[in-house]
Amino acid sequence: MGRQLTAATLMSAVTTLVAAMALRAADATLAIAAVAALAVLLGWYAQLHSSDEQSGLGLANPAAVATLAVVGRRPWSTVLPVVAAHVVGAVLAGLAALALEDRLGDTLVFGTPGLVLAGLGAALVGLVGAWATLATDAGGSEALTGVPVLVGGALLPLGLLVAFQPAAVLGLATAGILPWDVALTAAGGTVLGSMVGAFAVSVLVSNE
């Protein structure tokens, strides 16, 4: 369990830092591509820790932890420690990005979303993320883990590029890139969407 917590902490820290730097890319397309590529890479690495009894995909994303717990692919007793590890890693990375703000330069210009857009958009990203997580866990390509990033990039303002990863959203708020109310709303929406998506899939499978 200790190694899993360390991995979760590091993955959320890396996601937050890469997102903070990607938001300073030459244009939005490069930012989205960079974060999507990272999501696929971390999804691949996390999948290496999967077994017949338990999926490792939650190590890359706390939303996936909730999804997997709903369908029985991760014990509920591990949810809180792993999610806490994700948040710690993201917040620490956010503090590092804040300290390096002068060296990193200005972010791309993007609008601040309203709370309704942040919540509903993130919930939809969470639904897509649940599908991607369960499809990957069932043997699909790890490239699917990048789909929620693309959906978020298309639906939401660029500042919520990491809506697929709730801990990283909090990390960007720590870095001063997002307002806290928007970040908390988006993070909650993603987790809720992930759980609803997992529940819907489990119901559909049980009815087949």
The CATH class of 2-207 is mainly alpha
The model's pTM:
0.91
Tell me how far CA of residue 161 lies from CA of 6, 107, 138, 191, 200, in angstroms. Answer: 24, 13, 26, 15, 25
pLDDT string in tens for the chain (208-residue length): 788 999 999 999 999 999 999 888 778 889 899 999 999 999 999 999 888 889 999 999 999 999 999 999 999 999 999 999 999 999 999 999 999 877 766 666 566 778 999 999 999 999 999 999 999 999 999 999 999 999 999 989 888 999 999 999 999 999 998 999 999 999 999 999 999 999 988 777 655 5
| Neighbour-count burial for 102-113, b at 16+ CB within 10 Å, e otherwise | eebeebbebeeb
The structural domains of the chain, with segments of one domain joined by +, span: 2-207
Residue 1: predicted pLDDT: 72
In the DSSP assignment, the letter for residue 180 is H
Question: CA-to-CA distance for 107 and 101, rounded, in angstroms?
Answer: 9
